[in-house]
Structure 1
Amino acid sequence: MPSIVRIPPAPESPLSNAVRIRTRDGVLLAADLYLPGAPGIVDDSPGDTILIRLPYDKSGVYCFIPLIAEYLTQHGYRVLAQDVRGKFRSEGDALLNVNEVDDGYDTIEWITQQAWSNGRVAMWGDSYYGYTQWAAASSGHPALKAISPRVTGTQLGEPVRREASDRTRRVEWGVTYMYPLTQFFENDALYWEPDWSRRDFAAQAEAFMTQIGHRGLSYDQWYPNPVLLPRFPQGSPFAGRSVPVLHTIGWWDNCAPLSWADVKAIKQHPNWDAHHYLRIEPIDHEGFQLIEADGDRVMDRTEAQIRALLPRTLDPTLAFFEVFVRGNGSASDIPRVAWNLAGTEGMRESATWPPAGVRTLTRYATADGSLRVERPVEPTTLEWIHDPVDLVPSSVPDAFAYLLTLPDEASIGDRDDVLRFDGAVLETDVDLAGPVAVSARVASDGPVLDCFVRLLDVAPDGSALRIARGQLQLRDATSPETLEIDLGHVGYRLRAGHRLRVHVSSSDYPEFLPQNGTGADPWTGGELQANRQRLVVGGADAFALALTVLEGELP
């Protein structure tokens, strides 16, 4: 039986007032109200409100919402922090994603009817409490004036759709089915880990639910036969009324592909695109930075460390809300794109992303393990073995906190089941700014092939930092197919004396569920079988890496 740690709601902050908000179907949602003013002198006059709707305990230490609320009230805002339906002190079923549109609307409507509200509402938050902002915005409530979602996406948490006709699809995250078995299983948070050395994850999930004594609604809607309930009433989150958005993405956020998918979708909706402001920071999902003092690169931050984080985390949002909520200044005061060139200090500004002046350069893999300017004329097939008993390990223990570990991934390229291609040493600095993509012709003697591609910066001492990555699954893999693999976007300075490196493999475990080699569902488990994988370099189907360069020359 797994060891389970139950985390109930923390005591409500003495700085807040506990309130209950009744939704249209009678469910009471618990919230903490923070009003500005000095201790004992509360300002309950009408003012602007920032709403934060989260599933991680509005009063708990993990998200430190009481400290955030204190900071925001010091800037004159009323703050309402709410446990979403089914979580911690809120009533209802713990059902992922599907109630956030209506519950967001009902909560905003309740705010507008309070004496301390002037009828203007904004929203802020990370991850799932970034998702709840997209959901509330799609409800079309006119009182919602602006949102500031960070490290999130409108398709957050959704399992891979299993369309039989699709030969390619996303590779499933290992956390996908664990999230509704931990964070969204019931009101309390339940922390437990499966035995990752075993491959019977579905059986371990059943044993967990037997141990707890009831099933999980969110888990059962996804597995084994996914029932993907509609999240947004109009299909697309961007189909209706738009609001100004300060959209923050982290270069090392493992959820960044979801964010970039939303950026692409917003481009197709002019009313949203007109109010879309992009901020791209050198952070991971937990907010750790690439350049950070060693003493601050710790998971359990002190209150002093958290307070020191608040200005860089919240001040961009406050400046955005000053314009779009309070009406002070003009839209031109906010840069359309603020971004960091990772490896350097400070933020840059541009009118578009990618910034003006970029160009696309392509480098080709060769049979001798190089990345070169010239496409090899003759095709060569390289092979490796995907052994589900000996998988390529994930480089960090917690994919959400990549920069906490800041791993050296060089040793992964020494494995026999990883293909490695090296570029020439750079003579000058090169700035990358924009999308990265790979075209790869692959096949397998097994039914399913997962293709992982990692782009790394290799320092003169041989250490390797991952700067971009992408992965794609091929079904019916015995028939060759050219995969177009999106490695996301990158803003990064490659230093003189460094070189680029590419890793190609078939697993990244346990961050991603690995193939058993038989085509069976990897969450269910079953017989394990090694597969021989193939990649073409050279010729018409050459392995090609496309990079977006802002400054400098790649050899």
Structure 2
Amino acid sequence: MHDVLRIPPAPESPLSSAVRIRARDGVLLAADVYLPAVGEETDALPGDTILIRLPYDKSGVYCFIPLVAEYFTRHGYRVVAQDVRGKFRSEGDALLFVNEVDDGYDTIEWITQQSWSNGRVAMWGDSYYGYTQWAAAASGHPALKAISPRVTGTRLGEPVRRDDTARTRRVEWGVTYMYPLTQFFENDALHWEPDWSRRDFAAQAEEFIDQMGRRGLSYDQWYPHQVLLPRFPQGSPFAGRSVPTLHTIGWWDNCAPLSWADVETIRRHPNWDAHHYLRIEPIDHESFRLDEEPIDRVMERSEEQIRALLPRTLDPTLEFFEVFVRGKGSATAIPRVTWSLAGTNEMRESSTWPPEGARSVTRYATAAGELSDVRPDSVTTRQWTHDPDDLVPSSAPDAFAFLLALPDEAPVGERADVLRFDGPVLEADVDLAGPVTARVRVSSDGPVMDCFIRLLDVAPDGSALRIARGQLQLHDAAVAETLQIDLGQIGYRLRTGHRLRIHVSSSDYPEFLPQPGTGADPWAWGDTRTNLQTLVIGGESAFSLTLTVLEGNLP
């Protein structure tokens, strides 16, 4: 038996009015309407509305939407907070992602017909309730004037396609199949953890399903017979009408690769790119900051702490909506990119990303375990083992709250199954701003190989902070292949006396599903086998790291 904590809907806020919004198929979607207190004559007139559509309980403590709504209404906005279809008080099937385009359209249409609405709607939210903004924008409703998605992506939560015949694929997150077994199994949230030491996850999922006495539609669409239902019926979410977007990405958000993928797609759609604004902050998925005060580095924030968090979280959105929703001010006054130089507590502005003046710098791994500006001529190899019974542990207990733990990753580099490469000590500060990529030629004596690359900032005391990372899966791994691994984007100051370090490994567990070594499905597990992995050093296929430097010089 699994210990399951059921989280039902919290009491609705006394500041709101509960309504039911009928979708086109008759399903009733539960929402709370918050209106500004009538202190001035203009407050009683129809006004602008901010819509928040989420699966985590519109009234619950986790997302503190009532406090968010109170903050927005103090600025004169009407707020509609809605449980998405099948969640908490809303009717319908708990089927993640696929109904959000139509339900978003229908909800916006309902808002425009209310006496307190002037017909202008904006949207705000994080993660899944950032995704619902992309979906509503894709619906093409003309009343949607601006969106402010944070730490999210249009392909949020999508599992790796098992019918993909390409030699390289994404490495599957450990949370992918757990999400539909917890947050999207039924109306209530069901919190439970598998026994991560067993690793027969598919069997444990079936045990949980038997325990609940019914199957979950969201899980069954993905496993064991994968069906990826279209989440954007019209194709690309950026194919149609564009919406002004304030797009917030966190340097340490584990979902940041999804955000950056959308940035690249938007650049290929001029109508979207014309009013796409980036904001890049030193945060993780749960909005913990690198420079968080120790007293605030707690998972269960008090109401006082949440209220203190709201201005830094919501004020950039309010400033953006003043221009694009209320028509006050000029869009030219809003910087196209606002970004943090992590490690300095600075927010900077630029017209492009990467900023003008940034340049690429490449460093090469050596057989001696160093990072050099000279590519070794001679070809050698470094090898390590991947033992499914002794996996490289994930450094943070919760991948979504990496900066809550703020782990020292130096001990990971002491393991025999992790290759380590160190750069020289810096004699002056160096500012990094832009993409980081690794080029590796690898192979394995097993059929499938996962290759994890981690870039670390090592302090003089020996502690190591992860500042970039990437991973890729190689199939038919007995045949060597050169991989280009995207480590994401970075805005970070390396301090004098620090050094860069790279870790190379084949697991990061339980954040990512580990390979059993046999090529079998890692969710189902089964028999295991230790693999010997090989990395090429030097020559034309040299292991290299390319960074983007804005200021200073890497030795």
Which stretch of structure 1 is more off in the superposition, 453-462 or 224-233?
224-233
Decide whether the 8 Å contact of 1:342 with 1:493 is kept in 2: yes
Distance in 1 separating the partners of 2:344 and 2:183: 36
Residue 349 of structure 1 corresponds to 349
Asked if 1:439 is matched to 2:439, the reply is yes
Decide whether the 8 Å contact of 1:426 with 1:498 is kept in 2: yes
State how 1:49-68 maps to structure 2 within 5 Å: 49-68=49-68
- The CA deviation at 1:40 is 13
Residue 551 of structure 1 corresponds to 551
Residue 492 of structure 1 corresponds to 492
CA change 1:355–1:70 in 2 (3 A) is: same
- The CA deviation at 1:43 is 4.4
Asked if 1:201 is matched to 2:167, the reply is no
- The CA deviation at 1:233 is 2.0
Which digits, 9 at most, give the CA deviation of each residue in 1:6-30, with x for residues without a partner?
0000000000000000000000000
Residue 505 of structure 1 corresponds to 505
Decide whether the 8 Å contact of 2:248 with 2:280 is kept in 1: yes
- The CA deviation at 1:38 is 5.4
CA change 1:44–1:94 in 2 (3 A) is: farther
Q: AA paired with 1:141?
A: H
Decide whether the 8 Å contact of 1:35 with 1:42 is kept in 2: no
- The CA deviation at 1:185 is 0.5
Distance in 1 separating the partners of 2:448 and 2:40: 64
Distance in 2 separating the partners of 1:42 and 1:338: 33
SS in 2 for 1:76: coil
Which digits, 9 at most, give the CA deviation of each residue in 1:36-73, with x for residues without a partner?
01599994530000000000000000000000000000
State how 1:283-294 maps to structure 2 within 5 Å: 283-294=283-294
Residue 463 of structure 1 corresponds to 463
Asked if 1:153 is matched to 2:125, the reply is no
SS in 1 for 2:424: coil
RMSD over aligned Cα atoms: 1.1
Distance in 1 separating the partners of 2:303 and 2:39: 20
- The CA deviation at 1:161 is 1.2
Distance in 2 separating the partners of 1:119 and 1:41: 19
Q: AA paired with 1:239?
A: A
Residue 366 of structure 2 corresponds to 366
Residue 100 of structure 1 corresponds to 100
Decide whether the 8 Å contact of 1:36 with 1:42 is kept in 2: no
CA change 1:270–1:212 in 2 (3 A) is: same
Distance in 1 separating the partners of 2:453 and 2:349: 30
Residue 90 of structure 2 corresponds to 90
Decide whether the 8 Å contact of 1:392 with 1:412 is kept in 2: yes
Distance in 2 separating the partners of 1:524 and 1:306: 40
Decide whether the 8 Å contact of 1:44 with 1:115 is kept in 2: no
Asked if 1:401 is matched to 2:394, the reply is no
Distance in 1 separating the partners of 2:46 and 2:40: 18
Asked if 1:326 is matched to 2:326, the reply is yes
What is the TM-score normalised by the length of structure 1? 0.99
Residue 210 of structure 2 corresponds to 210
Residue 247 of structure 1 corresponds to 247
Residue 127 of structure 1 corresponds to 127
Residue 281 of structure 1 corresponds to 281
Q: AA paired with 1:234?
A: Q
Distance in 2 separating the partners of 1:406 and 1:245: 30
Residue 312 of structure 2 corresponds to 312
Q: AA paired with 1:107?
A: T
Decide whether the 8 Å contact of 2:159 with 2:176 is kept in 1: yes
CA change 1:41–1:392 in 2 (3 A) is: farther
Residue 237 of structure 2 corresponds to 237
Distance in 1 separating the partners of 2:426 and 2:544: 19
Which stretch of structure 1 is more off in the superposition, 33-42 or 142-151?
33-42
Q: AA paired with 2:413?
A: G
Distance in 2 separating the partners of 1:41 and 1:35: 14
Over 6 Å off, 4+ runs: 39-42
Decide whether the 8 Å contact of 1:35 with 1:44 is kept in 2: no
- The CA deviation at 1:291 is 0.4
State how 1:6-25 maps to structure 2 within 5 Å: 6-25=6-25
